[in-house]
């Protein structure tokens, strides 16, 4: 192997390491950074700001002690439970590699679990699993010193602001309640009408029988 070829490979390796360092540094600015054994993990959102109703993902960017990306984890080696206001995902979400070695697309050391936040507020990530045999059990909540909380997207909508997800749900619940009330009123009206009809019909039968009885009585010859 020629010296020129070796120098070219070294340059590519340096550029790759530099790019990962930049990505990791940018991720760390809006992530919670912690260590697992000799590895470093930056945990947060893939996209920020975080808008309600928009596709996003929980992201863990991992590097080893020398600053190189950790790329040997499989989908499910790391899992995350996302929660807000006492409500959590029913099952842990698998973090899958965001880098494809075959195509070179994505960022080495990046692992993601897609999710769409549906209400604004502070989200908590509980990350579990293992990295290179070292157990992981870390919890982080969005905030000013960690990663962004979810907000409604009305501030960036143009020219018209769309109703928020919460407003749509509230309207649908109101329409459903109104429909149920109308159905209940209609049912009560039908029951009342049926009852009145039954009473009127019963009275008609009684009056009819009385009429028949009186007619028969009128046809009987008087005794004498």
Q: Verify that 15 and 110 share a domain, yes or no.
A: yes
Q: Verify that 145 and 178 share a domain, yes or no.
A: no
CA 178/CA 184 separation, integer angstroms: 10
What are the C-alpha distances in Å from 59 to residues 31, 97, 111, 172? 9, 10, 6, 33
Name the residue among 146, 58, 70 with its Cα closest to residue 107: 70
The range of the structural domain enclosing residue 179 comes to 163-224
Q: Verify that 72 and 116 share a domain, yes or no.
A: yes
Domain end, chosen from 102, 128, 155, is at 155
pLDDT value for 206: 76
Q: Can you give the pTM of this predicted structure?
A: 0.66
Q: Please state the domain count of the chain.
A: 2
Q: Which residues contact 120 (CB under 8 A, 6 or more apart)?
A: 52, 149, 150, 151, 152, 166
Provide the residue-wise pLDDT of the chain in tens; the chain has 224 residues. Answer: 554 544 554 454 444 444 444 444 444 568 999 999 999 999 999 999 999 999 999 999 999 999 999 999 999 999 999 999 999 999 999 999 999 988 989 999 999 999 999 999 999 999 999 999 999 999 999 999 999 999 999 989 999 988 877 778 787 888 787 788 777 777 777 677 677 677 767 777 877 777 776 666 666 665 54
Q: Verify that 67 and 168 share a domain, yes or no.
A: no
Q: Verify that 173 and 148 share a domain, yes or no.
A: no
Domain end, chosen from 108, 133, 155, is at 155
Q: How far is CA 191 from the centre of its chain?
A: 43
pLDDT value for 22: 44
CATH assignment at residue 54: 2.60.40.1930
pLDDT value for 215: 67
Q: Verify that 116 and 60 share a domain, yes or no.
A: yes
Over the Cα atoms of the chain, what is R_g?
36
Q: Verify that 151 and 186 share a domain, yes or no.
A: no
pLDDT value for 1: 57
Q: Verify that 177 and 138 share a domain, yes or no.
A: no
Q: Verify that 118 and 221 share a domain, yes or no.
A: no
Q: Verify that 182 and 200 share a domain, yes or no.
A: yes
C-beta atoms surrounding 126 within 10 Å: 17
Token pair for residue 194?
């049926």
């Amino acid at each position: 192997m020629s010296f020129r070829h070796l120098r070219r490979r070294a340059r590519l390796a340096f550029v790759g390491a530099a790019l990962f360092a930049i990505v990791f540094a940018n991720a760390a600015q809006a992530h919670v950074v912690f260590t697992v054994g000799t590895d470093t993990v930056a945990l947060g959102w893939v996209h920020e700001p975080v808008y309600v109703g928009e596709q996003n993902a929980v992201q863990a960017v991992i590097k080893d002690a020398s600053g190189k990306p950790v790329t040997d984890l499989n989908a499910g080696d790391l899992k995350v439970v996302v929660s807000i206001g006492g409500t959590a995902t029913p099952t842990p979400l698998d973090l899958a590699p965001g880098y494809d070695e075959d195509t070179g697309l994505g960022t080495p050391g990046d692992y993601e679990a897609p999710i769409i936040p549906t209400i604004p507020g502070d989200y908590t990530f509980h990350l579990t699993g293992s990295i290179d045999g070292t157990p992981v059990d870390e919890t982080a909540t969005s905030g000013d010193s960690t990663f962004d909380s979810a907000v409604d997207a009305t501030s960036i909508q143009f020219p018209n602001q769309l109703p928020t997800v919460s407003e749509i749900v509230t309207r649908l619940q109101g329409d459903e309640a109104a429909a149920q009330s109308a159905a209940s009123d209609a049912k009560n009206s039908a029951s009342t009408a049926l009852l009145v009809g039954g009473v009127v019909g019963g009275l008609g039968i009684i009056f009819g029988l009385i009429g028949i009885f009186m007619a028969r009585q009128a046809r009987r010859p008087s005794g004498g």
